Chain A
């Protein structure tokens, strides 16, 4: 990235403007609350809050989203620690030691360890993000439209291969997402797949796809499958009890520093790999920490390191995910796809040029992530008791509110009842598909990437007089396409191998989020 010094002042102006700080604070609070609701991951939280970005300008909208993303990852650890129910897939591993700490009367300490670990993970990965992102963007800048088209296919190969348990279903879902993206105007004056229906003439809005694929199935699940459920009382301790034992001391912090460093690096690296996500990051971090830590044998019995490792890793994933998303336009997760979508709806195109032409915006995201993490620390410490109560809301009561937010949020996009009907149809299909283990996240990722891929393909074909073979046989393109094939092959090989343990078997499902 060029002229960081020159662009830092405008970036600070974007982040420290009066509305931006309010937006960041709102994002942090809403992110923690939604992340703390059992079943709500960062992508579902962002999908539900997506309509709120309509009234924000571009930088505020993206700052709001990164704040929600960071805070939801921390929020997910709250029910994991207190009621043994992870709020986000990334919080699943935190249950192992977090809940054991709660049973020992150390709930408050576990929450503090989780908070500090999350904040440090987030800050570390943000610093790495700015270096890695600009390097990747520089590589991306050397690419022409043909190479960018191949890069898009590479992204699709990762999406199809690693979201869900079965790559064949993943690739079918990817195809469906690409098809949905072609509905409406072709960009060359023609209309595609509109069937003379007026609501389809402008194509499917991203908000409909995001809410329909991510938030609506969760709402259906809450309303249909959890209509009689209660929050199980696992004897979760009051977070205010045993004040002396629950104090998080400087000695605790010093002891956890190596854990934080190791796992922040693991989380950042995992986050940068499209398709991996917070659940894989926290699982690998936990296993690695178990090997490295002097208290490795005590893992699973309620040790601080067992909470610090997955929590620092899953928050580090946030900035890591932004690297390929912003630098190359390849979203690494459902959450990143929403972030890209927000940028696109605000007229900002993610990709290598973003780092060259909108350096101050990229720096603002970087500074915004740091500020969001600092706010997360303050809000997290102040509201520990309140967040604990949020985690105890019964799921059967939650459903009507979530569905109402979906309906109002979708309608608010352009006051159009047809959009709510579209969400209902897409949400119903996604809910049914999930029962058949056809993942819905690849549909959304492909929907976001589809127009980028088609635009680059059309550009490359126009340059090369319509000769597809010339486009596909350029040296860098061949290398990227071979990588895509190798990725798909590895995906099938991985899916065919028996799961080593129940935890690893679960990650395929968890990675969907």
Chain B
């Protein structure tokens, strides 16, 4: 998806502004001061929110003024490309990895994650590709198992490798 930079900036800054206003409203629920002199839990966040809202206003004003200007903006690209599908695939892979971790275990999840992502990026003919990507994914899984689980003692849910490799 390709957006005009001007529009993308206006929508993003406006969304940030709305979020900041909602957060300002939320500060009304924070605890009052409990100590003499202490201004309460909401004081510092409100200072930050006011500060940020000022910059939102400055940026929006500038963007609207620029939109009215006939002179083209120099130095900035005119469009922003947002690769939604490749991005969703990557995010989906990460989420699948983390949610399947307790079910399939560290070894299988890591192997599948790497195999899936590397397979689409490898250039060899299909049979060589399968062998090479599988070998690389397997060796990397072993490496991460040794480093994170055996050496650094991180408690990942493991299923297969402890039966074969342990210090």
Interface residues of A (CB under 8 A from B): 52, 54-55, 165, 168-169, 171-172, 175-176, 178-179, 182, 186, 188-190, 192-193, 220, 223-225, 227, 396-397, 399-401, 403-404, 407-408, 411-412, 415, 417, 420-421, 424, 428, 432-433, 435-438, 454, 457-458, 461-466, 468, 499, 505
Known: A224-B83, A408-B144, A421-B98. A172 touches B35 (CB 8 A): no
Residues on the A chain within 8 Å of B93, using CB: 403
Is the Cβ of B148 less than 8 Å from the Cβ of A412?
Answer: yes
Give the complex CA separation of A399 and B118 in angstroms.
9
Which one, A52, A404, A421, A468, contacts B113 given CB within 8 A?
Answer: A404
Known: A55-B153, A462-B37. 18 other contacts (CB 8 A): A176-B52, A178-B48, A179-B49, A182-B44, A182-B45, A188-B35, A189-B34, A190-B31, A192-B27, A227-B120, A227-B121, A399-B121, A400-B113, A415-B155, A417-B101, A438-B12, A466-B36, A505-B75
Say whether A424 contacts B118, CB under 8 Å: no
Nearest Cβ distance between residue B92 and chain A, in whole angstroms? 10
Q: Do A403 and B55 have beta carbons less than 8 Å apart?
A: no
Bound Cα distance A65, B114 (Å): 28
- Interface size of B in residues (CB-CB distance below 8 Å): 64
Q: Does B125 contact A (CB under 8 A)?
A: no
Contact partners of B30 in chain A: CB under 8 A: 186, 190, 192
Determine which of A182, A401, A461 lies in contact with B38 in the assembled complex, contact meaning CB atoms within 8 Å: A461
Question: How long is the Cα–Cα vector from A128 to B99 in the complex, in angstroms?
Answer: 50
Within 8 Å CB of A408, what residues of B? Answer: 110, 144, 148, 154, 156
Q: Chain B CB within 10 Å — which of A55, A400, A404 has the most?
A: A400
Query: Contact partner of B94 among A165, A407, A465, CB < 8 A?
Result: A407
Known: A189-B31, A462-B37. A220 touches B153 (CB 8 A): no
Assess the B45–A436 pair: CB atoms within 8 A. Answer: no
Interface SS of chain A: helix
The secondary-structure label for the interface of chain B is helix
Shortest beta-carbon distance, B106 to chain A, in Å? 9
Question: What chain B residues lie within 8 Å of A190 (beta carbons)?
Answer: 30-31, 41
Contacts of B51 in A (CB 8 A): 171, 175, 178
A227 with B86: in contact, given A193-B45, A462-B38 (CB under 8 Å)? Answer: yes
Give the complex CA separation of A415 and B153 in angstroms: 11
CB neighbours (8 Å) of B144 from chain A are 404, 408
Of the candidates A399, A432, A457, A462, the one whose C-beta lies within 8 Å of that of B82 is: A432
User: Separation in Å of the A243 CB from the closest CB of chain B?
Assistant: 34
A418, B31: Cα distance in complex, Å: 26
Distance between B68 CB and nearest chain A CB, rounded to angstroms: 18
